[in-house]
């Protein structure tokens, strides 16, 4: 099967192609003309519109900065400043409280040291007093025992002397009797021993 073409369709396609080629040629010519004239920003005929747009955009940006962004930035700066001032004030209060507590701790430590020294002094004085009292009691007890011992020694000595006197009298009487054969009077022998002793 062969393709059949309509002669009217082929003719319109050929005309459309020719027109599009002509349009491309005209567009290329206008682009070349625009390029040959230079940049539109530097052409004096466009400066009026550019300056108007510049002023309008500047006014819009100024209004946005002064009414929207400026207050927001100022508010952020003010909040930050208030936060910093609050933190500094809080830090100063905490520092002052810490200083007060440190002073209180130093005072308490000094009082504790003084109390410990007083307690140690009182304990030493009390111990010294107890030692002195015990020493005095022991001295009294020893003096009493010594006096008692001396009394016993004196009594023993006196007893021994008494006994010795009796023994000496008996021995002297026995000697006199043995030597003389006569009995000596007891009182005379005792008186003679006492006068010698």
Per-residue pLDDT reduced to its tens digit, 151-189: 999 988 888 877 877 887 788 788 888 888 878 777 777
* pLDDT on residue 136: 93
- At residue 109, the 3 state secondary structure works out as helix
Nearest CA to 193 out of 154, 173, 157, 159 is that of 173
> Per the domain annotation, does 134 fall within a domain?
yes
Q: Per-residue pLDDT tens for 87-112?
A: 999 999 999 999 999 999 999 999 99
C-alpha distance from residue 115 to each of 35, 105, 118, 123 (Å)? 103, 15, 5, 12
Q: Is the pTM of this model over 0.85?
A: no
Mean pLDDT taken over the chain = 82
> Per the domain annotation, does 132 fall within a domain?
yes
Q: Are 185 and 191 in contact (CB under 8 A)?
A: no
> Per the domain annotation, does 183 fall within a domain?
no
- The helix-helix angle for 70-180 and 186-196 (nearest 10°) equals 130
C-alpha distance from residue 38 to each of 2, 17, 42, 46 (Å)? 56, 32, 8, 12
* pLDDT on residue 19: 61
* pLDDT on residue 176: 81
Percent of the chain with pLDDT over 70: 80
> Per the domain annotation, does 85 fall within a domain?
yes
Residue by residue, DSSP assigns 139-186 as: HHHHHHHHHHHHHHHHHHHHHHHHHHHHHHHHHHHHHHHHHHSSPPPH
Least confident of 12-26, 99-113, 117-131: 12-26
Determine the average pLDDT of the residues in 12-38: 56
Full domain range(s) for residue 122: 50-152
Residue 157 tokens read as 């000595």
* pLDDT on residue 96: 95
* pLDDT on residue 179: 82
Contacts of 125 (CB under 8 A, 6+ apart): none
> Per the domain annotation, does 10 fall within a domain?
no
> Per the domain annotation, does 59 fall within a domain?
yes
Percent of the chain with pLDDT over 90: 51
Q: Are 148 and 156 in contact (CB under 8 A)?
A: no
Residue 1 pLDDT class (50, 70, 90 cuts): very low
- Give start and end residues of each alpha helix (H) in the chain: 7-37, 47-64, 70-180, 186-196
* pLDDT on residue 99: 95
Q: Is the model's pLDDT at 32 over the cut of 70? A: no
> Per the domain annotation, does 193 fall within a domain?
no
> Per the domain annotation, does 135 fall within a domain?
yes
Least confident of 26-35, 69-78, 139-148: 26-35
C-alpha distance from residue 129 to each of 114, 117, 139 (Å)? 22, 18, 15
How many domains does the chain fold into? 1
């Amino acid at each position: 099967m062969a393709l059949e073409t309509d002669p009217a369709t082929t003719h319109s396609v050929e005309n459309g192609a020719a027109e599009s080629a002509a349009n491309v040629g005209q567009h290329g010519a206008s682009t070349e003309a625009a390029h040959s004239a230079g940049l539109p920003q530097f052409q004096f005929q466009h400066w009026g519109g550019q300056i108007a747009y510049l002023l309008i955009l500047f006014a819009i940006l100024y209004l946005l900065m002064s009414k929207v962004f400026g207050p927001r930035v100022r508010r952020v700066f003010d909040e930050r400043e208030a936060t910093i001032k609050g933190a500094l004030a809080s830090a100063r209060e905490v520092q002052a409280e810490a200083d007060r507590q440190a002073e209180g701790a130093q005072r308490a430590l000094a009082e504790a040291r003084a109390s410990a020294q007083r307690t140690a002094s009182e304990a030493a004085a009390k111990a010294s007093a107890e030692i002195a009292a015990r020493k005095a009691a022991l001295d009294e007890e020893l003096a009493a025992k010594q006096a008692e011992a001396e009394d016993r020694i004196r009594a023993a000595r006196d007893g021994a002397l008494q006994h010795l006197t009796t023994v000496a009298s008996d021995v002297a009487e026995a000697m006199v009797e043995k030597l003389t054969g006569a009995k000596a009077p007891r009182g005379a022998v005792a008186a003679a021993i006492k006068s010698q002793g």
